[in-house]
């Protein structure tokens, strides 16, 4: 039995399960019996061959015992419907680390959005392999950690980064144009917890120098892609993308200037979607509500 409720919180339930009748009714009935008020509900069914159902439900309720709620939901709803599910609570803000190199545009966009209250997360630290952006972070009272990558010292640098992420209890990390490839060891420690911005419309022009490659190819669209990091370079599940039209009149520097504006917007939208618990991962794809 659930304890007598005293705390009013908002919760977000993310669900993936085989598609069948009664899923929405089962979840809604369970929440109704708890006295919860459903604030938002979104759902998506795949084609019949795959036969999967995805749902995001945000609700408000008074609750003291989260473990009891989760156990009861698992027994009464999730297990009978073969659900994979996660629940997030509004009384726990996500803790976001930012890793950046020398380019400042994505970092500054995130900091501005965070300062204005658009990104409802905490930023305990910024980590960089270059020292240039320390003043911008400390001006906002965000600790800045300069951890250079010298020849032959990448493993030691990553060890230091990993220690900081653990010490600060980081929930997810944003690579805001961090121009280093993370090792498989690093990525495997933080699965589905690292968001990267790549300066092209993936899968086109993965890897280095995408703007130069786009110019050489004579494309008419350039873009940016925010994705979760995996051990396959620039192949992780895509969260957000956008493009801008270009022409033969644009030089490489023009593409870079236009692209940086897209990068800022795309990364911010992806980070906000992650913070707001609007993403369900399915294989190498995402469902973003």
pLDDT on residue 38: 96
| pLDDT surpasses 90 at 29 | yes
CB under 8 Å, gap of 24 or more: what pairs does 138-142 form? 140/111, 140/115, 142/111
Q: Which domains does the chain have, with CATH numbers?
A: 8-89 (3.30.70.260), 95-288 (3.40.50.170)
Tell me the C-alpha distance between 153 and 174, whole Å. 22
Phi and psi at residue 174, to the nearest 5°: -110, 125
User: Which pTM does this prediction carry?
Assistant: 0.93
SS3 content of the chain, % helix, strand, coil (to 5): 30, 30, 35
What are the DSSP calls for 82-93, one per residue? T-EEEEEETTS-
| pLDDT surpasses 60 at 103 | yes
| pLDDT surpasses 90 at 6 | no
DSSP code, position 97:
E
Question: For residue 257, what are its two tokens?
Answer: 């200037």
pLDDT, tens only, 149-201: 988 889 999 999 999 999 999 999 999 999 999 999 999 999 999 999 999 99
- Nearest of 120, 98, 102, 114 to residue 165 by alpha carbon: 98
Contacts of 47 (CB under 8 A, 6+ apart): none
Tell me the C-alpha distance between 87 and 12, whole Å. 6
Tell me the C-alpha distance between 180 and 233, whole Å. 11
Residue 53 · residue 120 · CB < 8 Å? no
Beta bridge partners of 225: 198, 241
pLDDT, tens only, 237-283: 999 999 999 999 999 999 999 999 999 999 999 999 999 999 999 99
- Nearest of 283, 266, 281, 277 to residue 175 by alpha carbon: 266
Least confident of 47-51, 136-140, 233-237, 251-255: 47-51
Task: Return the active site residues.
Answer: 234
pLDDT, tens only, 33-44: 999 999 999 999
């Amino acid at each position: 039995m659930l304890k007598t409720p005293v705390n009013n919180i908002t919760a977000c339930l993310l669900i993936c399960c085989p598609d069948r009748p009664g899923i929405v009714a089962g979840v809604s009935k369970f929440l109704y019996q708890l006295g919860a008020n459903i604030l938002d509900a979104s759902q998506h069914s795949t084609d019949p061959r795959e036969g999967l159902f995805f749902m995001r439900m945000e609700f408000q309720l008074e609750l003291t015992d989260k473990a009891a709620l989760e156990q009861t939901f698992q027994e009464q709803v999730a297990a009978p419907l073969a659900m994979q599910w996660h629940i997030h609570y509004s009384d726990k803000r996500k803790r976001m680390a930012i890793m950046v190199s020398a380019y400042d545009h994505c970092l500054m966009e995130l900091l501005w959005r965070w300062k204005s209250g658009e990104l409802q997360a905490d930023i305990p630290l910024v980590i960089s392999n270059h020292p240039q952006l320390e003043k911008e972070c400390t001006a906002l009272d965000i600790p800045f950690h300069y951890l250079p990558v010298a020849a032959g010292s990448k493993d030691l640098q990553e060890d230091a980064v990993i220690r900081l992420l653990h010490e600060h209890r980081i929930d997810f990390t944003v690579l805001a144009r961090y121009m280093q490839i993370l090792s498989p060891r690093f990525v495997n420690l933080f699965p589905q917890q690292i968001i990267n911005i790549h300066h092209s419309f993936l899968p086109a022009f993965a890897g280095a120098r995408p703007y130069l490659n786009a110019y050489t190819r004579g494309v008419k669209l350039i873009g940016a892609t925010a994705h979760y990091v995996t051990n396959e370079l620039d192949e992780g599940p895509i969260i957000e993308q956008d493009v801008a039209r270009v022409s033969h009149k644009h030089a490489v520097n023009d593409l870079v200037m236009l692209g940086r504006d897209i990068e800022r917007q795309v990364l911010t939208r992806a980070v906000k979607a992650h913070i707001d618990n609007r993403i369900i991962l399915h294989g190498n794809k995402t469902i973003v509500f």
